[in-house]
Structures are given as structure tokens and as C-alpha cells.
Amino acid sequence: MDEAEFDKFAEEYRALHAANIRLSGEEPEYFAEYKIADIATELARERAAAPSTVLDFGAGVGYSVPFFARHLPTARVTCLDVSQKSLELGAAKYGVVAEFRHFDGVRIPFADGTFDLALASCVFHHIAHAEHVALLAEIRRVLAPGGRLFVFEHNPLNPLTRYVVNSCVFDEHAQLVLAPTMRRRVREAGFAATHVRYRIFFPLALRSLRPLEKALTWLPLGAQYYVAAAKSLTP
């Protein structure tokens, strides 16, 4: 991806995103919040310690920041992105509670083992597939032993997702990734304890059915999915 591609959309990112997902009946914040709530649920289920340092890889304008504050309030969030313009807008809004740092696309500007948890939310479909394993390995480098990774992506097996991506101006160059492929890449990058969960099955109009989603995470038809993984305690 051209480094500056998201600079073009940074100002209008929320409006473009909102227009693009209107079929779902939800606002962009719904999609930002469920991800952080899911991470908190996973950590609680595993009785894992709450993270104190979080890397939001490809954070854009910092959508996740208020939801970390809500669901994982001990986390100090570092937002990393290749788009300088997105970082400037994010820092203007959330700079007091989160750090915004530029990424050169190759080396994350932090020492080995800096973070307890890393999130990549809808980022990897903007990156050439040939670069995925190296970037995942770079994220692994900056995670502490035992640190957790969550990669959220659009599910190309969901027809509505494909429609939404195909009609989205900032997804013009998107290359969607199947969940098993992303999981394999996460493993190739050296992560352990990987699993996939499919998410988002019902639009707002069918929200009364959403309690069923907890039982459907195995079904590869959700609009999005995540791959969860951990950096082993031993090298």
C-alpha cells in the first residue's frame, strides 16, 4: 500500500466508514467497541492479567482508544500507523490518553518485549500478502513473552462483507484474507496458541438474535473474524 493512501481519507474516515456500513444499521463505534470487548472477554475467560501496555498496529485515527479505556482501563495504548495524517488527527483527539507513533512499514520503533498485547484491526487487508509474515514477526518481537495478539479482519466468505469492501473507497486496493490463511501466517511468524473466532452475524434490525452469536463463532460466515495468539513464554 502507498504509505500516504490513508492520508487522503483521514479527515473523512468516520463519515466514509459510516456510509459504507449503513447496511448493518450500526455506527463505526459499534465495530470498534465489539473488538475491544471481545479481547477483554477472552482475557477474562483465560484469567489472564489485564494488559498495561497495548500496541494498536494500524490504529488510524485511534478509534480503539476510548474502548480500551472502557473495557481494559489499565491499558496504556500506543497507536502506530503509516499514515501521518491519521496520527495527527488521532493525537489531536486522544493525545492525552494515548501515544501516537509513526511506522516506517518495516521496523516498529520500540524495543523487544515492550507490549503486553497487540491489536491489528482491519489492517492486514491493506498490506501486500507477501509482507504479512514479516510484519507479524515484527509485532511478535515487540510483545513480551506471554503477550497476546488479536488480528481482526473482514471475512471474504461473507457476501455482505465482500459487497461492502467492493464499494468502499478506502478499500480500493484491499486484498481480503481468509481466516485459516491468516491463522497460518500468525503461526509462521512464531506465535503459539492460535485460534479463530467468527463475529458479527446479525445487523441491527435483527439484534434480538445477537445473543446467538456467542454460539456461532465457529461458523465461517460472520462478517468479520479474529485470530488470537500468544507469544510463548520460552523463546
Ligand X SMILES: C[S@@+](CC[C@H](N)C(=O)[O-])C[C@H]1O[C@@H](n2cnc3c(N)ncnc32)[C@H](O)[C@@H]1O
User: Is 123 or 205 the residue whose CB approaches ligand X more closely?
Assistant: 123
User: Is 61 or 229 the residue whose CB approaches ligand X more closely?
Assistant: 61
Residue 121 contacts ligand X per CB under 6 A: yes
CB of 44 to ligand X, least distance (A): 22
- Which residue stretches of 27-146 are H helix? 28-45, 65-71, 84-94, 132-142
Residue 83 contacts ligand X per CB under 6 A: yes
Cell of 154: 473482514
State the DSSP code for 15: H
Residue 224 contacts ligand X per CB under 6 A: no
Angle between helices 28-45 and 13-20 (to 10 degrees): 90
Q: Which of 60, 90, 147, 222 binds ligand X (CB under 6 A)?
A: 60
User: Is 68 or 103 the residue whose CB approaches ligand X more closely?
Assistant: 103
Residue 225 contacts ligand X per CB under 6 A: no
Residue 51 contacts ligand X per CB under 6 A: no
* Element counts in the chain: helices (H) and strands (E): 7, 7
Residues 67, 32: Cα–Cα separation, whole Å: 7
Name the one range near ligand X by CB under 6 A: 54-62, 179-187, 196-204, 225-233.
Answer: 54-62
Site for ligand X in 5-44 (CB under 6 A): 6
User: Is 30 or 46 the residue whose CB approaches ligand X more closely?
Assistant: 30
Cβ-based neighbours of 66, under 8 Å, separated by 6 or more = 94
Name the one range near ligand X by CB under 6 A: 80-88, 138-146, 158-166, 192-200.
Answer: 80-88
Residue 59 contacts ligand X per CB under 6 A: yes
Cell of 21: 456500513
- Positive or negative torsion for Cα 91, 107, 56, 50: negative
CB of 215 to ligand X, least distance (A): 26
Q: What is the CA 31 to chain-centroid distance, rounded?
A: 10
Residue 122 contacts ligand X per CB under 6 A: yes
Q: Quick one: the chain helix, strand, coil %, rounded to 5?
A: 45, 20, 35
The letter for the amino acid at 231 is K
The residues binding ligand X (CB under 6 A) are 1, 6, 57-60, 63, 81-83, 86, 103, 105, 121-123, 126-127
